Amino acid sequence: MKQPYTHIVLGMGATGLSIVRFLLKQGITPCVMDNRALPPGLESLMKEFPTVGVVVGKFDQDMLLEARQIIISPGVSISTPEVKTAKNLGVEVVGDIELFARAICSTQADVIGITGSNGKSTVTTLVGDMAKRSGIKVAVGGNIGTPALDLLEQEAALYVLELSSFQLETTTSLNCLAATCLNISHDHMDRYLTFDSYRKTKLKLFDQTQYQVINRHDFQAHPLNLTSVISFGLDKPESQQWGVVDGQFCHGDESIMPTNEAAALGRHNQANILASMALAQIAGVKKTAMIEAASQFVGLSHRCENIAKHDGITFIDDSKATNVGAVVAAIDGLHNDDGNIILIAGGDAKKADLYPLRAPLERVKVTILFGQDAEALAELTKNHKVVENMKQAVTYAIEQAEDKDIVLLSPACASTDMYHNFVERGNDFKQKVLEHYGEH
């Protein structure tokens, strides 16, 4: 009779494959399960790792109960009945970040952990760039780019990790040098029973760090237990804190650089830069490296990305704005006295509370909506237009726009009702803008 698998990986995809690679290097041959019949990554898994067990179409409860450890991918909820049953009967349930934490605990490497509802990819990338420019051997990944376990191949002195709430659910021993929760707004309410449970999952990161970097303007994102705190915000900072004074990024009384020399657009990106500087300084990054990085970093694709300008109209792709907080940040960050914002939004709202959008929507010229939850968004503002697709949305936006206006795609929703992901949605927006003006 075949011996049961001691280690079972739940969920395929990039993270699942990284877990398999890691376990095999430890001399452990796992079984990979996915409750989808044809999960993404199945062919790659079977080709690259022919000795690994594979179960698709279900989570086999008997096999899970026979395992010593279940390693769960972020896309699989710890509330899945089969997982809960196994955990309640003593099977250890962890994620890739917990395996990463245990793997580096005996090394001298430092970790910076970054979570939050919005801005975490930007801050993760920026901190990594600052560290690299400062001559630090740095590896960047986690919930963005390279999975954390694959980063171990780089033998870095500093790991900068973006961490999602899903990853933090199963992480307890990540001993960070510094960590931040940039902000918290309603998101993933299709996964969490309450906003408070989502919030507390995010804040778990602060229990696993030496220094807590906090956003002065978002009390929801503050640690439940304050220890060594460094704060950032768009106001005047106290000594050793980070902020803005008279158009200058400042560290206490020290001016670092003018805010208008930062390449990334919007006031929300000013906050991201301050958070990055605060984290980077704790890691020993030189301020000259911070200035270089901030002055050259234009932002990530589909995150308040300036994609075109025609007839005085600026087009901004913020397709990654899949929750209410991201849209509020974009409107606040881009709003000015020179022109108006024309907003394109809609998609799958993930059962989120959309009401906090009501006041920001009053500040835009018109809101153009399409997708699964367009009607729910339409209830928030009288000044709206519901259309069928991106082409109609872009066409109507251009019809309404005048010189110095901004056409902003910032959906407040996931894209999966009409697209594979936010990247495809953002690319569709860009393509429709180019087509309208006869470019390809």
312 C-beta neighbours (distance < 10 Å), count:
11
Which of the residues 7, 132, 143, 430 is marked catalytic? Answer: 143
The H helix count followed by the E strand count for the chain is: 16, 20
Is 122 flagged in the annotation as binding?
yes
Cα separation, 248 vs 261, whole angstroms? 9
Encoded amino acid at 67, one letter: A
Is 239 flagged in the annotation as binding?
no
Q: How far is CA 146 from the centre of its chain?
A: 14
Residue 188 annotated to the active site: yes
Which one, of 273, 275, 267, lies nearest residue 230 by Cα?
275
Residue 427 annotated to the active site: no
Which one, of 82, 128, 164, lies nearest residue 285 by Cα?
128
Which of the residues 188, 204, 222, 432 is marked catalytic? Answer: 188
Cα separation, 376 vs 360, whole angstroms? 16
Q: Residue 426 contacts by C-beta under 8 Å, 6 or more apart in sequence?
A: 301, 302, 305, 317, 319, 320, 409
Angle between helices 96-104 and 13-25 (to 10 degrees): 40
Q: How far is CA 389 from the centre of its chain?
A: 26
Is 259 flagged in the annotation as binding?
no
Is 120 flagged in the annotation as binding?
yes
Q: How far is CA 342 from the centre of its chain?
A: 25
Q: Would you say 48 and 100 are in contact if contact means Cβ atoms under 8 Å apart?
A: no
Token duo for residue 435 = 């087509």
Instruction: Report the greatest alpha carbon distance in the chain.
Output: 75
Is 119 flagged in the annotation as binding?
yes
Residue 251 annotated to the active site: no
Token duo for residue 360 = 């920001």
CA dihedral 171→175→177→178, nearest 10 degrees, is 30
Instruction: Please give the order of strands across the beta sheet that includes 406-409.
Output: 305-310, 313-317, 406-409, 341-345, 366-369, 384-386
Secondary structure of the chain: what % helix, strand, coil (to 5)?
A: 35, 20, 40
Q: Would you say 143 and 164 are in contact if contact means Cβ atoms under 8 Å apart?
A: yes
Q: How far is CA 2 from the centre of its chain?
A: 41
Which of the residues 120, 204, 384, 432 is marked catalytic? Answer: 120
**Catalytic residue ranges:** 120, 143, 188
Residue numbering of the annotated binding site for ATP: 116-122
| Residue list, annotated binding site | 116-122
